[in-house]
C-alpha cells in the first residue's frame, strides 16, 4: 500500500501533473492510461473514458498479441529482428491452456485492483464507460473520438 500511495502522490497535481509539470508536458493533450488515471492521477481531467471489456475478451486480445505467430508476423514485416528465431507455433491445446491462464491472471488482477485500499480500480464518477466487449478496434476509436468531441468546447 505504501508504494501505491507514493506513486499516486508523485503524479498528482503539484507533483508533476499540473499544467507545466513534467507529466503534463509529456502528455500534451494525449490520452493517459492507467487503472486509476481518472480517479487518482488526473481527477480533474476534462474527459475521462473508462475503457472496459469482458475478461474473456480482454484475455483473448492480450493472448493474441503475444502468440508465437504474432511474433513471427512482426519479424517478417520489418520488426527489429535481432537474430532470434520465432518459436514454433503452439498446438491448439497449448493455445487453449495459455489463453485460459491469461484470462485467469486478468481476473485475479482485476479482483486485487478493485479491492485494494488505495485508489481501487473503478470508473470516476464523471467518466464515460466504454464497453468494448463486442467492438472492433476501429469502432472503439471512433466511439472514443465521439466522446472526446462531445465533452470539449468547440
Cα end-to-end span (Å), the chain: 41
Percent share of the chain, pLDDT over 70 = 62
Question: 126: closest CA among 43, 60, 64, 51?
Answer: 43
pTM greater than the 0.85 cutoff: no
Give per-residue pLDDT as tens, 13-57. 444 444 445 454 545 566 666 666 777 777 888 888 999 999 999
Distance from CA of residue 105 to its chain's centroid?
15
Better pLDDT: 18 or 93: 93
SS3 10: helix
**Domains of the chain by range and CATH?**
34-79+87-151 (3.40.50.300)
Residue 99 has pLDDT above 60, yes or no: yes
Residue-wise DSSP of 51-82:
EE--HHHHHHHHHHHTSHHHHHHHHHTT----
* Predicted pLDDT of residue 150: 93
Amino acid at each position: 500500500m505504501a508504494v501505491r500511495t507514493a506513486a499516486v502522490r508523485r503524479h498528482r497535481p503539484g507533483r508533476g501533473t499540473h499544467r507545466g509539470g513534467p507529466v503534463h508536458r509529456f502528455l500534451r493533450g494525449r490520452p493517459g492510461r492507467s487503472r486509476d488515471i481518472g480517479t487518482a492521477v488526473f481527477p480533474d481531467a476534462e474527459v475521462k473514458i473508462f475503457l472496459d471489456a469482458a475478461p474473456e475478451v480482454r484475455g483473448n486480445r492480450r493472448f493474441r498479441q503475444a502468440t508465437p505467430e504474432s511474433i513471427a508476423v512482426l519479424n517478417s514485416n520489418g520488426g527489429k529482428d535481432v537474430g532470434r528465431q520465432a518459436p514454433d507455433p503452439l498446438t491448439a491445446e497449448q493455445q487453449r491452456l495459455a489463453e485460459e491462464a491469461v484470462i485467469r491472471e486478468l481476473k485475479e488482477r482485476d479482483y486485487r485492483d478493485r479491492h485494494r485500499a488505495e485508489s481501487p480500480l473503478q470508473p470516476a464518477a464523471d467518466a464515460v464507460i466504454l464497453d468494448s466487449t463486442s467492438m472492433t478496434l476501429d469502432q472503439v476509436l471512433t466511439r472514443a473520438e465521439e466522446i472526446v468531441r462531445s465533452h470539449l468546447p468547440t
